[in-house]
Homo-oligomer: A and B are copies of this chain.
């Protein structure tokens, strides 16, 4: 099997237990996450031989950095290209909402080892040797000038080597302005084959407007994109959402099953969609089946604590084939 490479930050996630508020918390549950790490965890779950699923990042050479690596390894991710160094591990604090009370995130990721990565930390020639897919999200280039530059270098090198590139727009207003995002992402999108986004992302990053179909076609035309996927979330409350998705190629459009979801933990759902979509495309599922696989996988993510989706291909296929009633499997 050829390598699959995800590039991004891994942070420590700290969240109060049992839907307590920050102000009530005496303990935080600790896990590790990050948009691209979450995608990587999904991929490592699905491929039988996961020795070729690589996460590329930088973490501090202390126990917190090592704990993040330990977690990646436990997910069966190859951590050979995770550089150790720099000042600190990025953190994010998550307060889980309930009913009308929304979830809240406090980021504390400035000056992280990853954000302060230098160009020489990553040798893309070696990383991309014998590689078939490269994934990153809009968060990575937003973290620093250096990372924007590194992303561009990686994309160029990947294109040279004929590696497929996917990118989740993942616009974060606390990290950069829409102008800056537009300028950086437009350059990077020259290389992107598969775009994953939600409606707001497209508007924020590329200033585009219109129906989903129109947004997708504009991206396809403007850049070299082959496929554009949208995840659609209808929020009734912090506990109950409806989840579905759309996929567009230049000539076709696909619409997934809709799932009404009782939420356990919705963080990372979009990333689990990306991971499952990449898996399906790499396994030559049809476009429709790829979309259904990605949607079912990310539906299941909502029932799982932590940012990583911990489901098997069989479990996703079972839901995709209609077994949605949650009956006990003895």
A62 and B27 contact, CB distance less than 8 A: no
Q: Which residue of B lies closest to A17 (CB)?
A: B27
In Å, the complex CA distance between A97 and B237 comes to 21
Instruction: Report if A28-B25 is in contact (Cβ < 8 Å); known contacts: A20-B305, A329-B104.
Output: no
- Interface: A222 (CB within 8 A): no
Segment of A141-149, A151-159, A258-266 in the binding face = A258-266
Contact B103 A24 (CB under 8 A): no
A261 (CB) vs chain B CBs: closest residue: B99
A262 CB to nearest B CB, Å: 4
B residues near A304, Cβ cutoff 8 Å: 21, 24, 101
Query: Does A126 reach chain B (CB closer than 8 Å)?
Result: no
A25-69 toward B: CB 8 Å interface, digit per residue (1/0)?
111111100000000000000000001000000000011101100
Q: Contacts A27-B29, A27-B30, A172-B330; is A97 near B303 (CB within 8 Å)?
A: yes
**Interface class of chain A by DSSP:** loop
Q: What is the CB-to-nearest-CB distance from A63 to chain B, in angstroms, rounded to a whole number? A: 4
Q: How large is the interface on A (under 10, 10 to 19, 20 to 34, 35 or more residues)?
A: 35 or more
Are B100 and A303 in touch, CB under 8 angstroms? yes
**Residue A177, interface by CB 8 Å:** no
The answer for the CA separation of A250 and B66 in the assembled complex, in Å, is 42
- Smallest CB gap from A305: residue in B: B20
A257, B100: Cα distance in complex, Å: 13
**One of A275-283, A286-294, A320-328 contacting the partner:** A320-328
Q: Which residues of B contact A91 (CB under 8 A)?
A: 91, 108
Question: Which stretch from A70-78, A129-137, A183-191, A203-211 is at the chain B interface?
Answer: A70-78
Instruction: Give the docked Cα–Cα distance between A237 and B239 (Å).
Output: 14
A148 and B70 CA atoms in complex are apart in Å by 34
Q: A76-B73, A88-B110, A330-B172 are in contact. Are A101 and B306 (CB under 8 A)?
A: no
Q: Closest 9 CB pairs between A and B?
A: A238-B326, A74-B74, A235-B325, A22-B63, A101-B303, A98-B303, A99-B262, A103-B328, A99-B303
Residues on A facing B (Cβ under 8 Å): 14, 17-31, 51, 62-64, 66-67, 70-71, 73-76, 80, 87-88, 91, 93, 95, 97-108, 110-111, 172-174, 235-240, 259, 261-264, 266-267, 299-300, 302-306, 310-311, 315, 319, 323-330
